[in-house]
Amino acid sequence: MSAFRARHAASMAAALVLAVTAPATVSAAPNASADLREVMFVGNNWEGTADVIKSTGDFAKVGRINVIPDKDARMAEINADPIKWIAFMTIRNSVGEGHDQFVDDMYSTPDGRSMVVSRPSFADVVSIDLASGDINWRFPVSGYRADHMAVSPDGTRVAVSASTSNTVHVLDINTGKQAGSFATGDKPHENIFTSDGKQIWNMAIGDVNTATDAPWLDWTKGDRKITVVDAATFKQVKVIDMRERLDAIGLTDYSDAVRPAAFSPDESKLYFQVSFFNGFFEYDIATDRITRTKTLPKNPATSTDRTTWVNDSRHHGISMKPDGTKLCVAGTMDDYATVVDRATLQEGPLVTASKPYWATVSGDGKSCVVSESGADQVTAIDFATGRKTVSVPVGDHPQRVRLAHVPANWTGAAGH
């Protein structure tokens, strides 16, 4: 157990008697036929694997995928290039907390035969054949790190943040060919397609690996903004700077680095988290203003030293029940997850969780599923009661969890 996990385990036992983009994702096989099965992909970032689990019920494990079958070839390239080697080691020793980052985000192709994965430490996106475990195609992103992705509602395109080049690449999910790209703020992170597929929203979080975390040093964190583009032309539609919106309601000391976010079903509201904040905001898109602020409880065992919070997170992970009545929030550094009533913003029970890093919605819409990166498991929380129903062991440091489809009889890749 790492020192980080040991600290969190102790804090949970001692003090958490209090009891995480991305939004619920349209599965990448919207027209799934009878020979496909809905599942969830769980990316085990430090291990370089993805567990495939049931999307409802007991969330039992279906199989596992090796997302770095080409590790030897990639490492040979990195070791032969001093600049790539420096970038690789920088990722390991900063955002990776001393570990390599081998899987950030994942989606299935529309036919359910492949998994498309962004791999931060290898600065690429690959498509992996689910039957053979082999790589179908590989797209090296610009710069030195790949990050969050989003899939279009029709499942045909995937957008990936290239975090060190301030660029989002949009790829054909079947071929890996680039359809287009667009510029963002500093360190693009979360991507969201609108439900009609016409826009892509990108959230740039700025520099989260510096120690200049005091509120008065917020200006050192870079250009943080939401960039909205036309998904067909990749031309900029608008830019939203939450600094101005936060200042307008007197929150001048709050970070404007937008992290995970979730639209309301009618896409009139955006609910989003920011760096260092134990809570979230409601943003009205039509009036262009923050309409409500929700502050969630602090775990008394969580250090008040903001430099100890991983990648400037406090809470990282938010999703919405499909009917729009409930939100689910991962209280990452506070070691809990909770369901929040959207109308009243009243939170439910604080469900103990170890460094929960993401929140998504089960296939039937009845549960919130969070990844416990500090305990190597995913945990389902019932939206109706706000209480935990089951936890399922997965690999090392699970982060992103996405709905997906695989062949109905799939149980794992041959030879992997």
Q: What is the distance between the alpha carbons of residues 1 and 284, in angstroms, rounded to a whole number?
A: 43
CATH of 3-407, one of 2.102.10.10, 1.10.260.40, 2.130.10.10, 1.20.210.10: 2.130.10.10
DSSP state of 298: P
10-residue mean pLDDT profile of the chain (416 residues): values are: 40 37 40 79 97 98 97 97 94 89 97 97 97 97 97 97 97 98 97 98 94 91 96 98 97 96 98 97 98 98 93 95 98 97 98 97 98 98 98 97 97 72
Per-residue confidence (pLDDT) for residue 34, from 0 to 100: 62
Angle at the Cα of 332 from the Cα atoms of 87 and 214, rounded to 5 degrees: 70
264 CB-near residues (< 8 Å, 6+ apart): 270, 271, 320, 324, 342
268 CB-near residues (< 8 Å, 6+ apart): 284, 285, 286
The burial of 244, by beta-carbon neighbours within 10 Å (0-12 exposed, 13-18 middle, 19 or more buried), is given as exposed
Per-residue confidence (pLDDT) for residue 30, from 0 to 100: 45
Per-residue confidence (pLDDT) for residue 415, from 0 to 100: 55
Per-residue confidence (pLDDT) for residue 24, from 0 to 100: 39
394 CB-near residues (< 8 Å, 6+ apart): 42, 44, 51, 53, 61, 371, 376, 377, 378
Q: What is the pTM of this model?
A: 0.90
DSSP state of 347: B
Per-residue confidence (pLDDT) for residue 382, from 0 to 100: 98
DSSP H or E run through 201: strand 199-204
